[in-house]
Structure formats: C-alpha cells, structure tokens
A and B are shown apart, each in its own frame.
Chain A
Amino acid sequence: MALWQSIPFACILLPLGSAAMTSVLKGKFARRWTFIVLTVVTALSACFTYFIWGYGESYTYMMGHYPAPWGNEIRGGLLEGITALFFSLIMLLSLLGGVKKLDDHVLHDKHSLYYVMILLLTAALMAQVYTNDIFTAYVFVEIMTISACSLIDARTKGRTLVAATRYMIMNLLGSGLFLLGVILLYDLTGHLLMSNIKEAVAELHATGEYTLPLTVVVALISIGLSIKSALFPFHTWVPDAYGYTTPASSAILSSLVSKGYIFLLIKIMYRVIGLDVIMATGIHNVLFLFGLVGMIMGSISAIRQNDIRRMIAFSSVAQIGYVYLGIGMGTEAGMLAAVFHIFSHAVCKAMLFLTAGGLADASGNSKHFRDLRGSGMRSPIAGVAFTVGALSMVGFPFLGGFISKLNFGTAAMALGDMKTLLVLVALAVSTWLNTVYFLRTVITLYRPALPGSNYSVEKGRRGFCFSLSCVAFAAVNIALGILSQPIVSAIRMGLDMFA
C-alpha cells in the first residue's frame, strides 16, 4: 500500500490525537499548535487530492488488523479528497480571520479549550468525510454536535447560552432520529459497513421484503440529518446560533458543520441506501419540496432583518434549501449541483460572517444597518470582501455562486417534468430576493455615515490575519468561478467513484 494512501488516516488521527495535548497548553501555544495542525491537514488533503486524481479509483483502508465487515474501515476517493481539502482550508481560513476577535469574546483562560473544540471538530469532519462505516459516522456526529455547541457558548453571554441550548435540543433530536434509523437499518441488514448494507438493501429492494421499515429508515435518516443541517422547517435555531456567537464560530458552524451533515446524507444516499431505493421510497420529493420552500422563505426572513449577521444567518437557510433542492432532484446532475453548491456556499458564507464581524467593529460594534453606513470605507478590506461574497451569493458571473446557479439550472432542464418548471421559477425568485437583501447591504456599506455618528477608523483595522483571511477567501471564491470546469469535472469523477 502506497504511503500516500495513509493520508486520510493521518488527517483524522492528527487532530484527534493533538486535541488532548492542546487542552493543557497555554492559550498562545495552543493557538500556534492548532494553526500548525490545521495547515498540515490542509496540505495533506491537497496532496491526497492530487494523488487520488492520478490513481483514478477509490480504495479502502483497514483501521486495524481485521478486514472490513469485522473491523473498521475508511475509504478514500476523489470526492472525499476534494471535500476534505475544502473543509480543512475553510476551517483554517475561518479561524485565521476570527482569531483576533477571540481575545474579546472568549475568556482568557478558556482559549485553549476553544482550540480543543476546533481540533476535534476538524477530526470529526475528516472522519465524516472518509468513513465507510455508518456507526463510525454516528460516533463522529456526536463529537460534531458537542463541539459545535461549545463553539456557540464559548462567548459567554446570555443570548449565546439560550442559542446554544436551542441548538443542543434540536441537534440531539436530529441525532436521535439518525441513530434510530441506523439501528433499524442494522436490524434489517445485519451490517454496519456501508458497502455491505448497500448490497443487502438492494437485495431487500429486489425481493420486496421489508418495504415499510426501509421507507421509515430512509425517512428517519433524512429528517434527522436535515434537522441538524437546518433545512427550512427545522431552521428555528439558526439565526440565534449564528447571529450572536463569535465570528469565527459563526463561520465554522454555517460553512462546515451543517455541510458535514449534508455530505454524510449524500454519502448515505449513494453508498448505503442507493439512489434507486431512495427514489422508490419517494423521500427525495419531500426533501425537494422542503428545499424549494426554504429557498423562498429563508430569503424573505432575511429581508426582514435589520441586523447584518442575522440576515446572513437566514440567508444560510435559503442556501441550504438550494442544496436540498439538488439532492431532491434525484439525478446525477442534481447531486453534482448540490455538491458544488456546498463548496461555493461554504467559502462564501464563512467570508460573509467574518467580514460582517470586521464591518461591525468599524461601526462601534453595532450590527444594525443604520450604524453600518459607510463602514465599507472605514474598513476597506472587509468591505471589498463582503461585496465579493454578496455578489457571489447573488450569482454574479466569474464567482462561485454563478456556477452553482448555472449547475442547478442545467440539472433542472434535464429533468423534463413538473420539477423543471418549479426549480427554474424558484431559482429566479430566490435570485431576485437575494439581490434585494445583499445589494441593499452592499449599498448601505458604501453610503456616507449618518451625521452625528463618529466611528474611529483605527478600530476597523483588524490586523494582518484578518486581511490575509479575507483576501484568501475572496481568491478562493473567484477561483471557484473561473476554474469551475476542472472542479466540476473532478466532482463528477468523484461521484462516479462514489457509487
């Protein structure tokens, strides 16, 4: 076995093993160590993507001395590689952008614990991406839930505590439903390894046995994971959780944690249940409908906000709707669009949350639109980065958002039934609504400040880390738009390897 094939194993074990060590370090050293680990994981993921691209097929990696159905196993493929690369890169950049703000928001002797959460979350995301065993996925879902909750309440404030409590309740409900689904699935098939379950499920589907329990399993897993990733009717915890915590946490939560669950759902659809069985149960239509309504309702709620971070949070709900719309189409092209949108939205949303924090800093720490007037001038880098993000969200050409909207449109055209019309209309309406609230915000940023307000320009300068992260995020965003062709073809290749 070639050495590079151990990279997924290293990507999981390195953050997991170093988390305990970080907890005893002093804040400054913990921060350095975390950055080193995240950089290494990102670099390793990039190498892995390169190698697996050349290798051309997926492979499995035994975790221990026993082969798959008995021992644990992870699996590397092109889609896993790309996802891991994006996730670790966004984690690194989000932390880089928000690290200055942690000094204000997190108590001084709790910094190292914050970094423990970051590292364990990274390990859990990597495990989620690479795992080939559904119970391992559940164990790391637990880690993700707890660490995400701590990331919210790391900023000790009344509102974040309430938000964290709501987050915990909703997410544990989601975990519970997911676990119930996994247990029922084990009862029906007798396996926990994904490929074996898929064989058993295909057999059950062919013989027509256990049709009702199988439908319930698909429903429980889908609903459980969609609660955890904030699909529309289950999104009530989103605005508080994303809106009040420290910017790094909001960026990580909105762009990584919810996306990790969606990636798991896609994995389960492809590798555990199989797309044709999902189609036979009809659950994908429910997801499609929820996604459709979420796209519109999320945007409408966003328009009504006058707090910039709550607005971005509601916009997340709308964008999660897009992803589920793609999943709900049930075709290869729909999945492709959904996966691409996961990346483009993750990059964009993290940047928006970070820059919103920077802009608020330049406006006397207020997040209301009337105080944000002119903050684009006071904090130029944050302003420009926010504009890039907002344009990408709206679907401006040469940016990631445009390509993902294009992908959704193309996927919808291939469907050729009632859904085509629904998707196209929803895309048009949602784009229009996005434009309303994002461009309004951008214009507000560049209007002169209200007379009488006197915000110091100095506070708007957030230092080297913040600027670097803004520039890097904007660059990734533009790269996603311009280099979309190779990325889309890589995702297509990865999805082929996936099945």
Chain B
Amino acid sequence: MAKIREDYENSWWPRFLRWLRGGSTRLDDQLQEELVESSEAHLLQSPEEAAQMERQAEERVQQALQDERNMYDHVHDWARLKGARLTRALYSILAVVTCFAIIYVLLRTTSFLPPFGDPDNPVNNEVSQRYIEAGMQETGAVNIVAGMILDYRAFDTLGESNVLFIAACSVLILLRISREKDGSQSAEQLLVEANDRMYEPKNDTILQHITKLLVPIVLLFGMYVIMNGHISPGGGFSGGALMGAALILYLNAFGFQKTERFFTFRVFQTVSLCALSFYAVSKAYSFFTGANHLWSFITPGTPGKLFSAGLIPYLNLAVGLVVCCTMYAFYTLFRKGDM
C-alpha cells in the first residue's frame, strides 16, 4: 500500500498541478498565511500595543527598503562608474588588438601573394586571353569591358542592376512619406515640403545661369557616354551617374516645381520598369537561346558602328536610365521624402 505523505499538499506534484491550474505558488501561500496570522494577532492586542507593533513593523519595512536601496545603489554605482569604465577599457583594448591582428594577418598575406604585374601570374590565363583576343569578334564591342560585363558575364550585371533597383526600393520604404489613402497629400508631406521651400536655396541667379549652360552639356555628355559604351570607355553605370548629377543640379537651381513637370514618381516607376523589364526579357531570351544552342537574331554587327555589338548599346541604355533615375530618386527622397 502506498504511503500517503502527511504534507502531500506541499510536495512538488500537487504544487505543480495547482500552478498549472493557475493557482497560487508556495510563495503566495506563505504570504497569505503571514497575512492571516498577523491579522489574527492584531485582534488580540489592545489598541496601544497594536499601534506599537504597527510602528515597529513600519520601521522594519522602512529599514528593509533602505537596505535594499543601499545595496542597489552600491551595485548600480559600481556598474555605472567602475564597471562601465572597466568594460569600456576592455572593449577598446580588445578592439585595437583585434584590429592590429587583422591588419597584421592581411599584410602578411599580401606579402605571400603573386607579385603585382608579373606575366606568369595565375590571373593571366586563358580566360582573360580570350576576352582580349577574341572579345571584339565575338561580342562586336570595341570596348572589351563592355563586352565582358554586358555579354560574356551579363548574368552578373543583370544582378547588379537589380541591386541598384532594390537599393532605390529600400530607400523608398524607409524615407517616402505616405500619402493619405485617397491619394491626397498628408499633413506630414505638406510640412516637409514647406520646410524644404524654407531652407533650400532658390532663385540664385548665378547658379541658375550656370545651370542653364551646364545641364544640357552634361546631359548630352552622359548620353554620349552611355550610347558609346561599347565603342569607347564608359557605359551605362558611368553615363547614368552623369545624367543623374545633371538632374540634381537642375533641381537645386530651379526647385521642385520645374522638375516635377517632367520627373514625378510615376516617371521614375515607368522608366525603371521599362528598363529593367527590357533587360530581363532580352537577356532571358539570350540566355535561353545560348544554353539550348538555338539560333538567335542577335548578331555582333560591325565593330565600331553605333548600332553594333548585339544587345550591348540597348542594355547600356537600360542600365544608364536605371542609374540616372536611382541617383535622382535618392537625392529627392533624402531631401523631402517624395519625388
């Protein structure tokens, strides 16, 4: 026969069951008992004694609170003054030591690397040889770099242009101030626009005159760099950056009212969409035909001509437009949270 323990109610299983049912814990029980006992004792005493006891209890509580506060202050002070200083010192020392260790390791590694500019280096192998020797015939691009990034390794560049796009989207998520649900401007938007009108320079005559001279030239040069990307040094990324800079300069000189006539959020979306979709679709076609050894209508053409090198000029244009829009979008979003 199982032995029934006397303090069964206090053993761990019934306590666990009680806790499970949402009942009280042992600590709660003890507090309850103390409360009951003291209240019974309180009934038996005369009023003076009771008052005396209460005072004493009050003093005890105050003393305990004071002790706890002292202890807390003591620990807290240590953590705030000495402890923080110690940790900070330790962190700084560790950071410096780690830094120097990494620098030492990297420098030492560099001394073991193949010597710079040596023709026997592993990097001078059949890969770069074919790029240099056969690149122009195969891709039709005089600029070997353009042929490499937009034809040989176009998949990487497709990813890279999406990096730009996703960066612009991230900034939009972070910084674009929301409109109201019905499409009208929200109060925050109006406030930020008012601030922008207040603090940004405007109607500076010198700036405006120089801008009038410079912007067309810079835009034209950017376009030239993009469209000649497969013939001379340049390409979508550098030309797009130039055009974006021209737009930003124009915005600074003439303000949002002028630029919003031709560059709104809609325009940004449409241009990005068209450029990226064209890039993705045309390259998907090219990848698919290439992998399956199918005939493709893309031919290198005559190297040196403007419309040659297969898709490269069009891809350069697409990349350039994406870069230009992204740069301009970054600027306006950081300035007033909208375009």
Contact = CB atoms under 8 A, between A and B. Distances in A.
A16 B281 CA distance: 10
Interface string B156-192: 1011101101110110111010110100000000000
Interface in A205-238: 210, 212-213, 216
A143 B163 contact: yes
A63 B273 contact: no
B124 A17 contact: no
A455 interface: no
Given A23-B269, A108-B178, A1 B277 contact: no
A323 interface: no
Nearest to B183: A109
A23 B122 contact: no
Contacts of A56: none
B296 interface: yes
A20 B290 CA distance: 24
A21 B280 CA distance: 11
A462 interface: no
Contacts of B154: 63-64, 72
Given A64-B286, A140-B159, A448-B22, A20 B121 contact: no
In the complex, which of the residues B121, B163, B178, B270 has the most CB atoms of chain A within 10 Å of its own CB atom?
B163
A19 B19 CA distance: 52
A113 B173 contact: yes
Contacts of B130: 70
A283 to B, nearest CB: 13
B165 A63 contact: no
Nearest to B290: A65
A153 B176 CA distance: 13
Nearest to B160: A139
B277 A21 contact: yes
Contacts of B296: 65
B272 A23 contact: yes
A450 B172 CA distance: 43
Given A23-B273, A184-B113, A136 B155 contact: yes
A252 B22 CA distance: 35
A195 B22 CA distance: 62
A443 interface: yes
A234 to B, nearest CB: 13
B164 to A, nearest CB: 10
Interface string A480-491: 000000000000
B257 interface: no
Given A13-B287, A66-B138, A110 B176 contact: yes
Interface stretch (A44-52, A144-152, A289-297, A328-336): A144-152
A191 B123 CA distance: 7
A109 B178 contact: yes
A153 B291 contact: no
Query: What secondary structure prevails in chain B residues at the interface with A?
Result: helix
Contacts of B152: 64, 66, 70-72
B19 to A, nearest CB: 8
A191 B113 contact: no
B109 A184 contact: yes
A325 interface: no
A6 to B, nearest CB: 7
Nearest to B289: A65
A64 B155 contact: yes
Nearest to B134: A70
Contacts of A110: 172-173, 176, 178
B291 A1 contact: yes
Query: What secondary structure prevails in chain A residues at the interface with B?
Result: helix
B322 to A, nearest CB: 9
Contacts of A116: 166, 169
Interface string B87-131: 000000000000000000110110011100000011111111011
B290 A191 contact: no
B122 A200 contact: yes
Interface string B287-308: 1111111001000000000000
Contacts of A142: 159, 163
Given A9-B288, A110-B178, A150 B173 contact: yes
Interface string A150-194: 100110000000000000000000000000100010111111000
A127 B174 CA distance: 26
A187 B109 CA distance: 12
Contacts of B160: 139
B310 to A, nearest CB: 9
A475 interface: no
Contact of A62 (B121, B125, B291): B291
A64 B105 CA distance: 40
B20 A443 contact: yes
B20 A20 contact: no
A154 B173 contact: yes
B113 to A, nearest CB: 6
A120 B291 contact: no
B66 to A, nearest CB: 29
B290 A62 contact: yes
A473 interface: no
A27 to B, nearest CB: 11
A373 interface: yes
Contacts of B156: 72, 133, 135-136, 139
Contacts of A304: none
A108 B182 CA distance: 11
A428 interface: no
A16 B161 CA distance: 11
B173 A20 contact: no
A63 B163 contact: no
Given A23-B273, A71-B152, A448-B21, A149 B280 contact: no
A70 B127 contact: yes
B251 interface: no
Interface in A112-126: 113-114, 116-117, 120, 123-124
B166 A117 contact: yes
Interface in A96-110: 107-110
A44 B169 CA distance: 28
A322 interface: no
B122 A65 contact: no
Given A187-B113, A213-B113, 10 more contacts: A6-B292, A17-B281, A63-B291, A66-B152, A117-B170, A142-B159, A143-B159, A188-B114, A210-B112, A448-B22
12 contacts: A9-B291, A13-B287, A133-B156, A139-B160, A149-B170, A187-B121, A187-B122, A190-B124, A191-B127, A216-B105, A443-B20, A451-B22
Q: Which 3 A-B pairs have the closest CB atoms?
A: A17-B280, A190-B122, A20-B276
